[in-house]
Amino acid sequence: MHAIEAVDLGKNFGGTQALRGAGFTVNENEIYGLIGPNGAGKTTALRILSTLISASSGRAEVFGFDVARHPEKVREIISYLPEEAGLYQHLTGLEFLEFMAGFYADDKEERDSFVEEGMLISGLGERLRDRSDGYSKGMKRRLLIARALMMKPRLAILDEPTSGLDVIQSVHVRNMIKDYADKQGVTVLLSSHNMLEVEYLCDRVALMDLGRIVAEGTPDELRERYGAKNLEEVFMEVTNHE
């Protein structure tokens, strides 16, 4: 069974086609990246798989559950972090983790376990006792990543996880994601504009353009296939951008 199986996904917003028959599979326990320019359809695909919107055509399954027919089953096993996710500014970091854990835990013991895990993932230490409206953007993103991973979901869907972060914060977040995938067995689907980041993190990559998958493979396979030094060059080649 694949962690994700997306087949011929289409999505129309009025007269705009955001997805045009996009299809890909993600294996269990791998980090899979969707890359492409703005408007390529990455976020639309993630939102369909997260059950937030419905596809206009095609189908998608997450660990065997159809996202359209069994959205409640999908939501039980995934965690989704949008690019523009925010915090409750009047809560401390710790209170935020406790609040979010309460939606997933069956009892206080499990909730406390989730919160403890989130505290470790965030690496924020004593700053967790401060209100989040005083956090830097990097600190907020680290707390949000902790929220997404602390329940050890079967699938974590992360949209631009390091968007707007400086080098130090980006490295910390990337290491958090890779560590969780390697040691906790969490499958990760992520989108990113940062192709160097994708090369470091991802086992396999799909390049999207104009709502379609235009190339797919491991970073090494894609570089070799197109005689490129990096994924940026691969993307320029397959999309005919100059």
In a domain, 134, yes or no: no
Q: What is the average pLDDT value for the chain, to the nearest integer? A: 92
Q: Is residue 114 part of a domain?
A: no
Residue at 57 is within a domain? yes
pLDDT score of 241: 57
Residue 108 has pLDDT above 80, yes or no: yes
**Residue 43, domain member (yes or no):** yes
Residue 131 lies in a domain: no
Position 40 scores a pLDDT of 87
CA 47, distance to chain mean position in Å, is: 10
Q: Span 46-62, mean pLDDT?
A: 97
Of 83, 42, 61, the closest CA to residue 205 belongs to 42
Q: Is residue 135 part of a domain?
A: no
Per the structure, the count of domains in the chain is 1
CA distances from 21 to 13, 139, 196 (A): 15, 38, 27
Residue 124: the pLDDT is: 93
Within-domain flag for 209? yes
Is 54 domain-assigned? Answer: yes
* pLDDT tens digit sequence for 61-102: 999 999 999 999 999 999 999 988 888 889 999 999 999 999
What is the percent of the chain where pLDDT is above 90? 69
**pLDDT value, residue 13:** 92
CATH number at residue 12: 3.40.50.300
pLDDT of residue 220: 95
Residues spanned by the domain of 39: 4-84+154-239
